[in-house]
Amino acid sequence: MRLSLDSTFYLGRTERKMAVKRCRTTTICCLPEDCLANVFALTTPKDVCRFSAVASTFRSAADSDGVWERFLPSDYRDIISRSIDGPDSLLRQVQSKKDLYLRLSDHPIIIDSGLKSFKLDKGSGKKCYMLPARDLYIVWGDKRRYWLWASHTKTSFSDVAQLRNVCWFEIVCSINTNMLSFDTNYAAYLVFKIKSGRYEFYNQPAEVCGGIKGLEVEKDSFYLENNTELLKLREDGWMEVELGEYFVKGGEDDTEMSLLEMKGLRSKSDLVIQGVEIRPKECT
């Protein structure tokens, strides 16, 4: 016998809860698939994956192209077209928009002639970029006496920057905020390795700053030591340290983040720089 919500008044407390739950589940499951898809598209990728596991009737709607198209960036076709492997190479590897989303989340693509890598934050669908060392401004980076450029097996970029010996250390990255997801708090992270463990940054404060180019920027300083909470080991085996953060509203000019170490003038060496990753801070 099917119960209405009114009839549950005459049941015990536990029985009422179970009856209401069954009634609500039945009502939701009876919705048309396109209606379910519209509801799911208003949530998040993580939520949709949960819905898919709740009931078999949800799975088709949760996996539909209409849902996952909403989670992909509006300009994803343009971004894919800039892949160094060509857009067809990626599209041949996927069979649905959900496959494409997961592919872009798990496997960054190299774009813009090798000067950037692009991926999606898996939980939110926000854009993430990595700028390789070649796309950074590195003081004396073109002087072989101070820096070497060499290939590295643990990166998809053509080469990395290896610090030989400098007293003045300065690295600056810049990105147009219109490339990023709007209404999102982003942070920039220097991705690096220490070649020999004696890179002479100990007890020397490094200064970081970030903000809109040409305007006043926020500054902070820290000690680039192995025991600091700012340094983190990444899943790919590289280290990272946050350079700064910025909330992207949309429509701004270039945002510039920098790492400056100019206060201690002792020689420094054996730092290997892969690049700077720019990703949503709330999704780390």
Q: Could you read off the pLDDT of 44-89 as tens digits, one per residue?
A: 898 888 877 777 778 888 888 999 999 999 999 999 999 999 878 8
Task: Pull the structure tokens for residue 170.
Answer: 């300065």
- Residue 150, pLDDT score: 94
- Residue 229, pLDDT score: 66
Q: Is the pTM of this model over 0.85?
A: no
- Residue 223, pLDDT score: 60
Q: Which range marks the domain in which residue 27 is found?
A: 8-69
Q: Is there a single domain that holds both residue 205 and residue 142?
A: yes
Q: Is there a single domain that holds both residue 161 and residue 137?
A: yes
Q: Give tens-digit pLDDT for 3-30.
A: 343 433 334 555 545 544 554 545 666 6
Contacts of 103 (CB under 8 A, 6+ apart): 90, 93, 94
Q: Is there a single domain that holds both residue 193 and residue 140?
A: yes
Question: Is residue 136 a part of any domain in this protein?
Answer: yes
Give the pLDDT band (50/70/90) at residue 115.
Answer: very high
- Please say if the pLDDT value at position 166 is more than 80: yes
Q: Is there a single domain that holds both residue 75 and residue 53?
A: no
Q: Is there a single domain that holds both residue 53 and residue 181?
A: no
Q: Averaged over 253-257, what is the pLDDT?
A: 70
- Give Cα separations from 87 to 84, 128, 183, 268 (angstroms): 8, 18, 28, 42
Q: Is there a single domain that holds both residue 170 and residue 196?
A: yes
